Amino acid sequence: MSEAADLLAEAPAYRLDEQVGFILRQVQQRHAGIFAAAFGDDLTAMQWAVLAKLAERGEGSQNLLGRLVSMDVATVKGVVDRLVKRGLAETGADPDDRRRVVVRLTGAGREFYRANAAKALRVTDETLEPLSERERGQLLGLLRRLR
């Protein structure tokens, strides 16, 4: 018997292709490819997430923004810095707490969001394209429960 066969005989019936993390990573890679095809080098998915959350909620602290888009402090700071450099967002001190950094969209950022929201929706539609409307709702509901 080969070493691999011995190992499989002694271990629980684990098959990588059936594991949720592996499948989720493959779906994420597919979605990332669809996003990149739609937005090209114009914007990353993390930059879009920050823009979309700012468009949805208005200005807010950089720390809160990071939590809302599931990014750690260093990552959201880098994303915000790149958006500021492009003129899509701006930062300033919170008037109530000068230590807190507040982030807001600029006029160009609001226009960029308006011009690209439909494209972002098409990315979602293409990602979910193999599913029926009912299946899409089920999948999203189940994934929300797993967050």
| 25-73 tens-digit pLDDT | 999 999 999 999 999 988 999 999 999 999 999 999 999 999 999 999 9
Helix (H, G, I), strand (E, B) or coil at 42: helix
Q: What percent of the chain has pLDDT over 90?
A: 84
Q: For position 8, what pLDDT does the model report? A: 62
Q: For position 137, what pLDDT does the model report? A: 97
Q: Residue 12 pLDDT more than 90?
A: no
Helix (H, G, I), strand (E, B) or coil at 26: helix
Average per-residue pLDDT for the chain: 93
Q: For position 78, what pLDDT does the model report? A: 97
The radius of gyration of the chain from alpha carbons, rounded to an integer in Å, stands at: 20
Q: Residue 113 pLDDT more than 90?
A: yes
Q: Residue 7 pLDDT more than 80?
A: no
Q: For position 3, what pLDDT does the model report? A: 77
Q: For position 96, what pLDDT does the model report? A: 81
d(CA 71, CA 41): 21
Q: Residue 80 pLDDT more than 80?
A: yes
Helix (H, G, I), strand (E, B) or coil at 89: strand
Q: For position 2, what pLDDT does the model report? A: 76
Contacts of 92 (CB under 8 A, 6+ apart): 101, 102, 104
d(CA 51, CA 104): 9
Whole-prediction pTM:
0.86
As a whole number, mean pLDDT of residues 71-78 equals: 95
Residue 127 contacts residue 34 (beta carbons within 8 Å): yes
